[in-house]
Chain A
Amino acid sequence: QVQLQESGPGLVKPSQTLSLTCTVSGGSISSGDYYWSWIRQPPGKGLEWIGYIYYSGSTYYNPSLKSRVTISVDTSKNQFSLKLSSVTAADTAVYYCAGVNPYSNQFDYWGQGTLVTVSS
């Protein structure tokens, strides 16, 4: 059973870069079985896909966030990471990492989520 765990600062100042890491256990990122994705959910609101990375390093981003997002992978640590630059209060959200089935494109596995607040 694949498990995911997000980690990173819970508070980021406006205009700075949000950085989160997702550690995968119970499976290898290098297996190629999943796309590794980030999704966010502002408090009391719905879900927004941020982007994903494949073990090979190929990335795809939500066009609405593309200019500010970088997702990277470290196969040696079985981790993948999110960087979101120039954050504002609108980026305050629970950030989830997830494993995406590459054949039917649903989010099979989710981390528990981590709340990131953007505030000075």
Chain B
Amino acid sequence: EIVLTQSPGTLSLSPGERATLSCRASQSVSSSYLAWYQQKPGQAPRLLIYGASSRATGIPDRFSGSGSGTDFTLTISRLEPEDFAVYYCQQYGSSPQYTFGQGTKLEIK
């Protein structure tokens, strides 16, 4: 099973700043199968990025994804107040098997 490790656990930033969230895999992951989600309290996760770098429908262009192999990054270029939430990465592997990272909490500084 591929383990995804997200860092940092908590990121404290101010609106307008740039956020960089990391997702590292224990084995190489196909870029086609790496996604990012945003989850706010009491809500279901929302798909942001799929295929490592493609934005889902309706996602603002301040969200971008990059990376390959074992290292992937979610970048939020200029934080808006509504962006403070928990972010998860997710991968798909053969078997099939889906795993999620443990999450990064993005909080207001």
Contact = CB atoms under 8 A, between A and B. Distances in A.
Interface residues of B, number: 25
14 contacts: A47-B88, A49-B97, A52-B96, A62-B97, A101-B50, A104-B33, A104-B35, A105-B92, A105-B98, A106-B50, A107-B35, A107-B37, A108-B47, A110-B45
B13 to A, nearest CB: 22
A111 interface: yes
A106 B59 CA distance: 15
A49 B100 contact: yes
A39 B37 CA distance: 14
Given A46-B102, A47-B88, A63-B95, 17 more contacts: A46-B101, A46-B103, A47-B100, A48-B100, A49-B100, A62-B97, A104-B32, A104-B35, A104-B50, A105-B35, A105-B98, A106-B47, A106-B50, A107-B37, A108-B47, A111-B44, A113-B44
Nearest to A47: B100
A13 B33 CA distance: 37
Interface of B: 1, 32-33, 35, 37, 43-47, 50-51, 56, 88, 90, 92, 95-103
A60 B96 contact: yes
Given A46-B101, A47-B45, A101-B50, A107 B96 contact: no
